[in-house]
Structure 1
C-alpha cells in the first residue's frame, strides 16, 4: 500500500471487515451463518446484515467462528436476528451497498432500519466499533453470544463489569470441536439500562448468567449523530485474558478520550500497519488490473495464520490446557496447511522472517500437545482433522531446509519422525506396511498416499541435515509409494484394493470406485496423476519417456471439463481437467519445465494469471483457503513457483510485471526485471540469476536468500532450447 498502491487494493475477500496483518481479531459484518457461500459469514448477494462479530475465516470452504456479535438498533427490541427473507422480523437490518466503505483495517456501512452508521477498526486482539445514532429514546445494542457459524454454542456465560462493561465467553462445537472463546467489552457511554436474556427469558442482570442462548441488550438515550464506541477484546484462555488484552492494546477504560477511545487513532495505526505490509513487494506495471489483483492477493496472504496468544503470553493448547510462552514468543492458529504449504508458506519465508520461526515453533508445540500428533488443520486450539496428509511437517521442513533461524529443529524432527513412524491415523499403518493405502479400507486412499509421500520426502530433508542418514534413506524410499498406483495400461494413477487388484470401475474423471467414500481428495485421477510434487523425474519414468509424459500433460489441459454429478464444488477453475480453483492442481502447469518444454509452462501460467484472477468481487476461481489462491498469483507473477517447497528450489515461469522488488530479511532485496516489447511477450528468451546467464530454468533459495536479481528477456515466440536438455531439469527426489 503506502502511496500509489492504496488505490489498488480491492476487497474481494469473504471477510470485508477490519483486521491487522495476521491479527487475532477480524471484526466484520455477518449476513448469514449457513451454507457454502456463508463460511466466512458474509456474501455479496445479501441485502441485510445480522451484526458484527469478531472472528472470521478467510475463504476456507468450511464454517466456524463468528464469535460475539454486536448489533445496534432503535425502537422495539427483538431478540432473534430474523430471516434473510424477512429482516424486519428481527434485529437484522437492510443496508444499501453503496454506503459500504472498505479499506485495510477499516469497514463502514449505514444500517437502514435504525439509520445507524456502523464503523469498525481493530488492533491485534481488540475490535473497535463506532456507532453513530439518530436522536432516539429507544437506542440499543444487542450482544449475542449464541451467534456463531453453525449455531453450535452449548454453554455461555456473561456478567456485568462496572457501569460500562460486560465480560463473558462461550464454548462451541462446530468444525473446531469444543472451542473456547472469551471476551471483555467496554462502552464509551453508560447505558440507561442493561438486560440479560437466557433462552429468551429476562434474567437478573446483576448476577453472572449462564445458558446456551445468551444475549444482553444495552439501552441508551441518544442525541442526533451521537457516537457510541464499543471496545471488545477476545481471548481463548479466559475472561481475564481478554481483559488484559483490552488494557494492553487500547488502554484503561476510564482514560477519557485518549488513548482508550480514540477510534480514529486506532484506524490510522491499522492503516499504517497495512501500508507497511503491502509495501513488502513493489511492482511496476502499466496494467492497473494486474496491480489491483496483486495487492489484493498480498492482503489476503496476511489474513492468516492468526495470532493466538494473550498479551501476558498465555495460550490455549491443543490439549485444551492453558500454557505460557517465554517473553517475546508468540502462538498462532488457523493453519490451512493442505493448501498453504504449497505457496503461501514459501512466500512467508521471504516476507515474514520474524513470523516464520513463530509459525513453525507453534506447529511443533501443537504436535507435542495434541493427542493426534502433527497438526493437520488446527483452529483455535482444536484439531479439525480436515484434509489429507499432515503438512505441518511440510511447512516446518521447508523452513529448516532454507535455514530459517530460531526453530527448535531437534524437537521438530522428533515430533515429525514419531508421527511418520507410529501414527495410525487415516491409513498410515497401511502406508507403512503395504506401501500403499487400500481403497477398500480407507477413504481418499490415493490422495492420502500421495500426501504422506510428500510428508516423508520433506522430513527426509531434515533427517539429512541432522545427520540421520538411515532415517533419510528410509523416508525417501517410502516417498516413492505413490508409484504403486500407476497403471501402465490406463496411464493413470488408479486406486488399489487390499488384495492388490485395481479398483473398478475406474473413471479418471470420477471421484471413486464406489459411493461409500471417494478415492481422491477434492480431485480426481486426472489431477492426482500429476500429484508427485517431490518427484517429477520419477513420474516421468513411470510414463516411459519425457515425450509420453508431456503428451499426457497436454491431454490434461485439452480434456473436456465435464465432471460427474458427485464432484465437490471445490473442483473449480477448470481448464480441461486442470482445476486451478483447488490446490492439487497448483503446481501442474510448471511440470512442463521438468519435461523440457518450458515454453508451455510460460504460456499456461500466463493464461492462468489472466483468466483465473480479476479485480472483481468474484475475481478468484476457487476458495481463498487462507491465502494459498492468492499466494499462487503473487509468486507466479514474480516469475517462479515452488513446485516442491521443502526442496528449497523454485521453477521459473513467466514474470507478469516489468519490475518487482521484494523486501527480504536484513534490509536485502530480491529484484525481478523483465524486458519486453509488449503484453504478448510471455515467453522467456533468456534468464540470468544475479547477472549470470543461465541455461537452466530453476534456482534455489540459497541463490537469493541474502538478496539477488532475476533478469528476464521476454518475447512473443518461445525459445525451445532454453532449459530443454535433461541435465537442466529441476532436481527431483533422490531415492
Structure 2
C-alpha cells in the first residue's frame, strides 16, 4: 500500500484558486510558477494527533535515477500461528499482574515466549480489545519459562461485541503443557466475530499461589494473506514486550512509527522508506535526534532489526547516509553503521543524536526516511521509531559545577528483567546516612523509581511520594522508609497512592546529587536538598490549596502530628527481606507554615497549610536510628531554623563538587562527561554512614548485635555502640574496582570506610559479606579480605591488625550462621576447595583463593612493619592456599569445574558444557570463571598451554556467543536477567553486565597480547555506557559504584587487575587528557593527544618522560603524581 498526504511544514501562501493567473502579452491566461516555500529551521514529530503526520505509509523512496531504493526486502513480517491477529490488540486488562517483575498482561500479546504474565493467585482472567470486530477460528496458548505447576489447566474463552456481555466460545479442562515455551493451538467449534475476547482460567496445574502464561494468540486461520511488496512503515500504538518500556506506547505519547519486513535475500537486503515531506534548512547547529526500538524475539539472536537508522534526503539529491555523519558516540549514522557498531539495544528504546550540521550545513532536507540495510539474510525484522526531530542544538559550554554533569536518574530505566543500572535517583551527600528520592511506586521496596515502565495512561511518569530511603540495591530491597507527598487538592486530600500521584515530564525534572526538583503537570513544584541525617523540602503550590500527605510502604510504622506547632514525629520498622539486622528508624520534622487542619490514622495522615503569598511550604526533616530526640538533635545540628533551602542546597553541592573535582578531563563529549561524573557520584554515594553524633560523640544503633531491650515509639531497643560504622556494601560486587578507587582518589576517607566495616567485626564478631545493613546471606566470597588488604598494601591508614584478624577469621573459622564467613569451611581447609555439596562451591573456592592472596600480601607487609613472626608464617600459608585453584581445573574439559569431596568432577569431562549456567558458578557459567585467577596469571596461562594458549582461550571466550537459551539455564529455574544481559553485550561470553567478568579483558596483558586488551576495553567504554539522557547509562547492575569505578579506571588507562599486588594493568585511555588531583596535593596527568575513536592502540608509553616497557604500573609510582604519556595509534 502507498499512502501519501502532501504537506510542507514551512510557511504556506494561501491563494483563492488552485493556481494564480496572469495576463500575457496576447491576453491569454498563463499559470505562474509556484514560489518556493521558505525553508524551516526545525521539525519535530512524535506521531501524536497534534504532531505532523507521516506523508507516506509503507512507501519506498525513489532515488535520482528513478529507481526504488530497496532490494531483497518485502513487508511479509508475521509472527505466531497462521492468521494471528494479536498485533491488532489495542488494550489488555487482567485480574492482576506482577508489575515489580515486569511480568505484566501486555506480555501475553508480544509474540515473545520469553516474557510472561504472572499473577499471584491460582486463577485469573485476561481481556483483549481488538481494533475492529474480527472473525476468530482458532487460538493458541504458550507455556511460560518455568514452574509447570503454574500453567493453566482449565479455562474458558469468551467473546463480546461491547466488552460487557460475554458469549462462551470454547471451554477446556485438564490441558497439560509437556514442555516450557510450548505453544498449543485450539480450534473453535464455530468461527466467531467479536471485538473483545476474555480468557477465564479457572484452575492451574497445582500451584497454590501463582498462575502464569507466556503468550495468547487469536487467529483467523487464514494462510493465504498476500505479502506486501515493500517494507512496512506506519503509525501504531508502539511496542509491547519490553522489559523497561511501557507497553503499547511510544517513547513519548501513545504512538510510534513501526518499521517491519522480511529480508528475503541471502546477501544484502535494504529498504529506505520515506516518512515525512519537509523543507528544513541545515546550518552548523542543526542536530538530528530520534528514539528507536529494534525488536528481537529471544530465539532469533540475529539483531537484524538494529541495522536501522533515520536517513535524510536533501534537495540536491544527496543523502545523509552518504555524508559520513556519526551519532553522539562516534559511530556511523547509517543502517549498516549502527548495526555493525552494536550500539542499539533490542527490545528497548535507544536515544540517537547526530550533529548533522558538521556534514550537511547549507543543505535543505526534503524527506525524512526510515532505513533498513543489512548485509545478510534471510531474516525478519521489526521495530519502532519515535520523537524524530531536526532542531537547533544548544551551544556546548562547560558547566560551572561538575556536579551538574551528574544525572541521578541514570540507570533507572531498568527492571528485574533487564538492568541498565538498577539505580534510583538518590539525592544525598557523599556516604550519607540517608537517601532522599522521588518514588513512582510507593508500595514497592525494590524498584521504587521506574523511569518509564510504570507510566500512566497518557504515557507520563508519576510520583507517588518523596521518601527517606536506605536501599543499597533493588535486589536487597529498601528499609527504614518514610514518605511525604504534596497535594493541591481542595478540602481533605485522598491519601491513597493512586489518588495522590502526580504526573510529570522528565524534561521538567532536575535530578542531581545535591538537589532534586520537579514541576508536575498540575503546577505543583517539589524540591529536596540533603544533609547527612536530614533534608530540606520545599513544596510550591499553584494556588491556595496546600497540603502534605504522610505515608509509608507498609503499616509497620507510626506517625504523630502536632498541628499546633507544625511538627511531626514517627518511626519506621519497614524493611525488605534482605535488610538483615535493620533496626527502627525515627523521624522528626518541622514545617515553616501555619497549619490550618489535618489528621492521621496509622501511618497515613495529612496537614493542611496557609502557604502564604508565595504559595510555598518548607519542611525540615531529620532521621535517627537511636531516638526521636536524637532525630530532633540531628536536625538542629545540620539544618537549624535559620537555614535557607538554597544554603542547604549549596552546601550539598559543594561537597559533591569537591569529590567530583578529583578528576578533570579534556577532549570528552558531553555524554562522556555525564558518564564520568555520574559514575563518580554513584561511587561516593556508597557505602553509607550508620553513625550519629550524640552529645559530641559518634554512636550507632547496632545491626550486628542482639537488641538489649524492646523498641518504643520514641527510642530504639538496639544496642548503642560508640564509634563510626559504615553499611550498604556487597563486597563480591565492589571489591574489584570500587575499593581500589577509594584508595586511589581519597585514601584518608578510604581508611575511615575500612575502619567503619572493621567496626562490624569488633561489634558483632564478623565483617559482612553483604552489609544491608547487617549480616545478609548473599553472594560468594568474603571479599572484604582482599579489598582491605589491597588498601593496606597501597598505604591506606586504618586499624590494619583488626582488619587482618577479621580476614583470617573469615578464612579459617567455621561460621556460626550462613550470613557471615565462608561457606564450606567444615571441609575446604583440608580438601583445598569447597565441594559440590556447598552451593556454588567452585565460586566459593576461586573467590577464596583471591582473598587468601590478599591476606598473604597483607600479612607480608604487616611482618615487615611489625617484625611479628606470626604474620610471616601466615603469609606463606595463605599464599600457598591461593595457588590451590589449579586443583579445580579439569584439563580434559579445559575449564574449572566443581568437585565433590571425593575428588570427582560434577560433570564427566567429556559431557561438560561451559555454557550451562549455575550449579557451581555464581551468576555465570564455566566461561565466566575461566580466568578467575589473576593473582597467578602465569600459572593460569600454564593451565591453558602457556601465554599463547591463554590468548587463544580469551579469543574463544570472545567469539563464543552467549545465547541466553532456556536449554542452558542450568540450576536456575529459568532464564535469569544476567543471561539476557550477557547475551546483549554481544562480545561472546564476556558479560560486562556482571562483575565476575570485569577483569577478563585485561588478562590479554598476561597473555602477551595487550593490543587485544586495548581494543576490547575501548569497545566497552564506547558502547556499554550509553543512554544517560533516557535513564540508561549502564549495561547490567551498577552495584554500589563498581561499574562506575570500572569506567573510571579504564578511561584513565589502567586497572587494578591483581588486587593486593599494589599494581595496575595498562589498558587504553579514553580521553586526550585527564588530571587526577591526588590527596597529597600532587597531580597525576594522563596524556593521550592522538586519542580518537579509531586510535585506540597504545604505540608507546612514557612515565615521567621515560619509556615504559611493562604492561603494569605500580601504585607507589602513580600515587606520587607525575605524567603518563600515551602514544596512540
TM-score higher than 0.5: yes
**In the alignment, is residue 647 of structure 1 matched against residue 1061 of structure 2?**
yes
Quick one: which of 693, 699, 706 aligns to 2:1113? 699
Aligned to 2:288: none
Quick one: which of 218, 232, 235 aligns to 2:621? 232
Q: Structure 1 residues 662, 135: closer, same or farther in 2, change over 3 A?
A: same
Contact 2:468 2:480 in 1 (8 A): yes
Aligned to 2:1016: 604
Question: Hey, what's the Cα distance between the residues in 2 that align with 1:4 and 1:378?
Answer: 33
Aligned to 1:24: 433
**In the alignment, is residue 298 of structure 1 matched against residue 683 of structure 2?**
no
Q: Identify the structure with the greater helix proportion.
A: 1
**In the alignment, is residue 415 of structure 1 matched against residue 806 of structure 2?**
yes
Quick one: which of 877, 892, 906 aligns to 1:489? 892
Question: Hey, what's the Cα distance between the residues in 2 that align with 1:194 and 1:177?
Answer: 36
Q: How does 1:520-599 map to 2 (within 5 A)?
A: 520-565=921-966, 566-571=974-979, 572-573=981-982, 574=985, 575-599=987-1011
Quick one: which of 573, 586, 594 aligns to 1:182? 586
Aligned residues: 667
1:654-689 Cα distance to aligned partner (Å, 9 max, x none): 011111111112211111111316431111111122
Q: Please report how far the alpha carbon of residue 39 of structure 1 lies from its aligned counterpart in structure 2 after TM superposition.
A: 3.2
Question: Hey, what's the Cα distance between the residues in 2 that align with 1:661 and 1:466?
Answer: 33
TM-score by length of 2: 0.57
Question: Hey, what's the Cα distance between the residues in 2 that align with 1:568 and 1:367?
Answer: 34
Question: Hey, what's the Cα distance between the residues in 1 that align with 2:611 and 2:1113?
Answer: 64
Aligned to 1:508: 914
Contact 2:399 2:405 in 1 (8 A): no
Question: Hey, what's the Cα distance between the residues in 1 that align with 2:1099 and 2:624?
Answer: 54
Question: Hey, what's the Cα distance between the residues in 2 that align with 1:692 and 1:661?
Answer: 19
Question: Hey, what's the Cα distance between the residues in 2 that align with 1:635 and 1:128?
Answer: 35
Q: Structure 1 residues 2, 365: closer, same or farther in 2, change over 3 A?
A: farther
Q: Structure 1 residues 4, 155: closer, same or farther in 2, change over 3 A?
A: closer
Contact 1:33 1:39 in 2 (8 A): no
**In the alignment, is residue 243 of structure 1 matched against residue 632 of structure 2?**
yes
- Structure 2 SS opposite 1:228: strand
Quick one: which of 824, 833, 845 aligns to 1:427? 824
1:564-618 Cα distance to aligned partner (Å, 9 max, x none): 3334313425311110010000000000000100110011101110111124321
**In the alignment, is residue 384 of structure 1 matched against residue 776 of structure 2?**
yes
Aligned to 1:315: 700
Question: Hey, what's the Cα distance between the residues in 1 that align with 2:689 and 2:563?
Answer: 26
Question: Hey, what's the Cα distance between the residues in 1 that align with 2:519 and 2:671?
Answer: 29
Q: Structure 1 residues 16, 44: closer, same or farther in 2, change over 3 A?
A: farther
- Structure 2 SS opposite 1:489: coil
**In the alignment, is residue 92 of structure 1 matched against residue 504 of structure 2?**
no
Q: How does 1:261-276 map to 2 (within 5 A)?
A: 262-276=644-658
Q: How does 1:29-428 map to 2 (within 5 A)?
A: 29-32=438-441, 38-45=446-453, 46=455, 47-57=461-471, 61-65=475-479, 67-73=481-487, 74-75=489-490, 77=492, 81-82=496-497, 87=498, 90-112=499-521, 115-137=523-545, 139-144=546-551, 146-147=552-553, 151=554, 154=556, 156=558, 158=560, 160=562, 163-174=565-576, 175-180=578-583, 181-198=585-602, 214-222=603-611, 225-251=614-640, 255=641, 258-259=642-643, 262-312=644-694, 313-317=698-702, 318-319=704-705, 321-325=718-722, 330-370=724-764, 373-380=766-773, 382-405=774-797, 407-424=798-815, 425-428=822-825
**Where do 5+ consecutive residues of structure 2 fail to align?**
1-397, 412-422, 456-460, 707-717, 816-821, 864-870, 967-973
1:316-360 Cα distance to aligned partner (Å, 9 max, x none): 22215444546xxx4322113111111111111122223111111
Question: Hey, what's the Cα distance between the residues in 1 that align with 2:1103 and 2:598?
Answer: 66
Question: Hey, what's the Cα distance between the residues in 2 that align with 1:684 and 1:532?
Answer: 25
Q: Please report how far the alpha carbon of residue 307 of structure 1 lies from its aligned counterpart in structure 2 after TM superposition.
A: 2.0
Q: Structure 1 residues 227-236 or 14-23, which shifts more?
A: 14-23
Q: Please report how far the alpha carbon of residue 497 of structure 1 lies from its aligned counterpart in structure 2 after TM superposition.
A: 2.2
Aligned to 1:684: 1098
Contact 1:54 1:127 in 2 (8 A): no
Question: Hey, what's the Cα distance between the residues in 1 that align with 2:532 and 2:403?
Answer: 21
- Structure 1 SS opposite 2:729: coil
Q: How does 1:466-481 map to 2 (within 5 A)?
A: 466-467=862-863, 468-481=871-884
Q: How does 1:605-620 map to 2 (within 5 A)?
A: 605-614=1017-1026, 615-616=1028-1029, 617-620=1031-1034
Q: Structure 1 residues 51, 567: closer, same or farther in 2, change over 3 A?
A: same
Q: Identify the structure with the greater strand proportion.
A: 2
Question: Hey, what's the Cα distance between the residues in 2 that align with 1:52 and 1:419?
Answer: 40
Aligned to 1:730: none
Aligned to 1:731: none
Question: Hey, what's the Cα distance between the residues in 2 that align with 1:56 and 1:98?
Answer: 27
Q: Structure 1 residues 613-622 or 13-22, which shifts more?
A: 13-22
Contact 2:590 2:620 in 1 (8 A): yes
Q: Structure 1 residues 351, 40: closer, same or farther in 2, change over 3 A?
A: farther
Question: Hey, what's the Cα distance between the residues in 2 that align with 1:216 and 1:35?
Answer: 19
- Structure 2 SS opposite 1:682: coil
- Structure 2 SS opposite 1:555: helix
Q: Please report how far the alpha carbon of residue 642 of structure 1 lies from its aligned counterpart in structure 2 after TM superposition.
A: 0.5
Question: Hey, what's the Cα distance between the residues in 1 that align with 2:787 and 2:760?
Answer: 13
Question: Hey, what's the Cα distance between the residues in 1 that align with 2:564 and 2:431?
Answer: 32
Question: Hey, what's the Cα distance between the residues in 1 that align with 2:920 and 2:1094?
Answer: 41
Q: Structure 1 residues 65, 41: closer, same or farther in 2, change over 3 A?
A: farther
Q: Structure 1 residues 649, 558: closer, same or farther in 2, change over 3 A?
A: same
User: For the pair shown, which has the larger CA radius of gyration, 1 or 2?
Assistant: 2
Name the structure, 1 or 2, with higher relative contact order (CA <8 Å, separation 6+): 1
Contact 1:52 1:70 in 2 (8 A): yes
**Where do 5+ consecutive residues of structure 1 fail to align?**
199-213, 513-517, 716-735
Question: Hey, what's the Cα distance between the residues in 1 that align with 2:535 and 2:470?
Answer: 12
- Structure 2 SS opposite 1:196: strand
1:514-561 Cα distance to aligned partner (Å, 9 max, x none): xxxx32111111011111232222211211211211111100011112
Contact 2:403 2:653 in 1 (8 A): no
Question: Hey, what's the Cα distance between the residues in 1 that align with 2:563 and 2:803?
Answer: 43
Q: Structure 1 residues 678, 71: closer, same or farther in 2, change over 3 A?
A: closer
1:173-218 Cα distance to aligned partner (Å, 9 max, x none): 42113522221111112322342212xxxxxxxxxxxxxxx22321
Root mean square deviation, CA, Å: 2.3
1:403-437 Cα distance to aligned partner (Å, 9 max, x none): 112x1111222222122111344212232121111
Question: Hey, what's the Cα distance between the residues in 2 that align with 1:412 and 1:478?
Answer: 19
Question: Hey, what's the Cα distance between the residues in 2 that align with 1:190 and 1:4?
Answer: 36
Q: Structure 1 residues 632, 677: closer, same or farther in 2, change over 3 A?
A: closer
Q: Please report how far the alpha carbon of residue 4 of structure 1 lies from its aligned counterpart in structure 2 after TM superposition.
A: 6.8
Question: Hey, what's the Cα distance between the residues in 2 that align with 1:704 and 1:51?
Answer: 46
Question: Hey, what's the Cα distance between the residues in 1 that align with 2:742 and 2:480?
Answer: 26
Question: Hey, what's the Cα distance between the residues in 2 that align with 1:675 and 1:362?
Answer: 41
Q: Please report how far the alpha carbon of residue 158 of structure 1 lies from its aligned counterpart in structure 2 after TM superposition.
A: 4.2
Question: Hey, what's the Cα distance between the residues in 2 that align with 1:582 and 1:26?
Answer: 25
Question: Hey, what's the Cα distance between the residues in 2 that align with 1:556 and 1:34?
Answer: 42
Question: Hey, what's the Cα distance between the residues in 2 that align with 1:581 and 1:34?
Answer: 28
